[in-house]
């Protein structure tokens, strides 16, 4: 399932964001994963960090009986797999065919005297952004209703992947449900309600392409 490409290739794909993170050039290569391909597993040694080039990634935790909580969706440009500990605290999987850039984690810290300061600072910014997202997601998980959760999800995704007026969701209803702490049926029902109220509409053959028709109302439902 995993195909390694470009590693140590002669040409140099741009990886400015990862470079900027480290404060110097750290490009290592690219990986490509098929649908459902595991990028790393919870508890594994965190030797790489990643940036999505194309596609989408979900990162999640599991309970022993299989209940899943998706922590975040990573879309093109997003950096993930940043751990200041030893191991990954999530499992990360490609949702669709996905290409990621990667670099060795230790390259962030093992640089010379001058390089390490901006690197640590940038890691701090990144971890802080993750923390902020986690904090607002706790409010969502603990205190919002199903409709509010789905509305919040749509608002978030609208800001991250709406292009040309259409939002093309890479993830399934089950993924959305496991992100919002719901069942897939409840997500489906909430979307139907929103469609019935004229807040959104589906386009195309599948139900994964959404047009938002009433953003103010959606924002209001997000409360």
Partner DNA sequence: CGACTCCTTGACAGCGTTCAACAGTAGTGG
Partner DNA sequence: CCACTACTGTTGAACGCTGTCAAGGAGTCG
Residue 208 interface partner, choices a second copy, DNA, none, CB cut-off 5-8 Å depending on type: DNA
Residue 132 interface partner, choices DNA, a second copy, none, CB cut-off 5-8 Å depending on type: a second copy
Query: What is the 3-class SS of 33-65, one letter each residue?
Result: ECCCCEEECCCCECCEEEEEEECCEEEEEECCC
Q: How far is CA 171 from CA 36, 55, 132, 168, in A?
A: 11, 10, 23, 9
Residue 189 interface partner, choices DNA, a second copy, none, CB cut-off 5-8 Å depending on type: DNA
Judge whether 80 and 61 are in contact, CB under 8 Å: no
Q: Minimum distance between the CB of residue 121 and DNA, rounded to whole angstroms?
A: 40
**Residues between 184 and 223 that touch DNA (CB under 7 A):** 184-189, 191-192, 202, 205-208
Q: Minimum distance between the CB of residue 212 and DNA, rounded to whole angstroms?
A: 15
d(CA 187, CA 195): 12
Does position 146 bind a second copy by CB under 8 A? Answer: no
Q: Which of 184, 183, 179 is nearest to 69 (CA)?
A: 179
Q: Minimum distance between the CB of residue 48 and DNA, rounded to whole angstroms?
A: 26
**Region of 83-91, 92-100, 159-167, 185-193 interacting with a second copy (CB under 8 A):** 83-91
């Amino acid at each position: 399932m995993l195909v390694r490409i470009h590693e140590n290739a002669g040409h140099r794909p741009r990886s400015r964001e990862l470079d900027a993170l480290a404060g110097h050039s750290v490009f290592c290569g690219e990986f490509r994963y098929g649908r459902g391909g595991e990028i790393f597993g919870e508890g594994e040694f965190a030797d790489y960090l990643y940036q999505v080039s194309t596609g989408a990634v979900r990162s999640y935790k599991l309970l022993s009986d299989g209940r899943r909580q998706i922590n975040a969706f990573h879309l093109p440009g997003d950096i993930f797999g940043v751990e200041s500990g030893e191991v990954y605290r999530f499992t990360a999987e490609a949702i669709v065919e996905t290409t990621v850039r990667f670099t060795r984690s230790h390259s962030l810290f093992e640089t010379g005297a001058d390089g390490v300061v901006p690197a640590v600072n940038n890691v701090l910014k990144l971890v802080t952004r993750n923390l902020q997202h986690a904090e607002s997601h706790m409010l969502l998980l603990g205190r919002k209703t199903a409709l509010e959760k789905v509305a919040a999800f749509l608002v978030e995704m609208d800001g991250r992947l709406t292009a040309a007026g259409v939002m093309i969701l890479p993830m399934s209803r089950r993924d959305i449900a496991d992100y919002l702490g719901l069942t897939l049926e409840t997500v489906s029902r909430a979307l139907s309600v929103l469609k019935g109220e004229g807040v959104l509409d589906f386009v195309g053959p599948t139900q994964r392409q959404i047009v938002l028709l009433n953003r103010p109302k959606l924002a209001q439902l997000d409360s």
